[in-house]
Amino acid sequence: MPLAWWGVTLMLLPASLLLLFVLLLPFAQLRVVNICATLGAIVMGSVLYLVLKVRWWGSRAAAHPAEPTQVAIGCGGRRAVRW
């Protein structure tokens, strides 16, 4: 069952607050090792995201022609267009 935007916000708010608390706790306690580990995880996650994004787009461009063609597929009585 789809949720409205306010339902999704209420659902994700506790997890977001906990994540923010966990990320800020090493800075509040001034623990250098934990701060370095936290920042290292953020940097490595960002780098990994960019590398995988570039690799995915590169493999997608090589596997598909430059100009996509439309293919109509049946979807439960409705017709959807897939590129």
- Residue where the block lists tokens 């949720």: 3
Tokens of 30: 């001034």
pTM assigned to the model: 0.52
Confidence band (pLDDT; 50, 70, 90) for 63?
Answer: low
Q: Are 72 and 83 in contact (CB under 8 A)?
A: no
CA distance 14 to 21: 11
- Domain boundary assignment for the chain: 5-82
Tokens of 18: 């906990």
CA distance 70 to 83: 5
Q: What would the pLDDT profile of 39-59 be if each residue is shown by its tens digit?
A: 999 999 999 999 998 887 766
> What is the helix (H) or strand (E) element at residue 81, kind and residue range?
strand 78-82
